[in-house]
Amino acid sequence: MGYSFSSEAIDNYFIFLSKSDAGNKKKFIMKLTESIESENTNAFNPRSLIGAWENLEILMTSLKKSMSQELIHLK
């Protein structure tokens, strides 16, 4: 069993991801599909969250960089 998000959080993530290009959307769908298929075979282990904040920091840095580049292109 994993952790869950509120409907509002899911809606916000969807809005953000829907602005991504088709290639990134496909990668995201594939990863989600893989996680659903393996969900029954892999029990949730809280230790899997160790280092999650580091991964989140990398993700946030990447998103900020991507958004900054997009804003530059809009000018």
- pTM for this prediction: 0.48
Q: Quick check: 44 and 2 in contact, CB under 8 A?
A: yes
> What is the total residue count of the chain?
75
> Is residue 68 very low, low, confident or very high in pLDDT (cuts 50, 70, 90)?
confident
pLDDT for res 56: 73
pLDDT for res 45: 67
For 44, residues 6+ apart whose C-beta sits below 8 A from its C-beta are 1, 2, 3
Sign of CA dihedral 41, 6, 47, 49: positive
| pLDDT (tens digit per residue) in 30-67 | 988 988 887 655 566 666 666 666 667 777 787 777 77
Instruction: Characterize 35-65 residue by residue with b for buried, 16 or more Cβ atoms within 10 angstroms of its Cβ, and e for exposed.
Output: eeeeeeeeeeeeeeeeeeeeeeeeeeeeeee
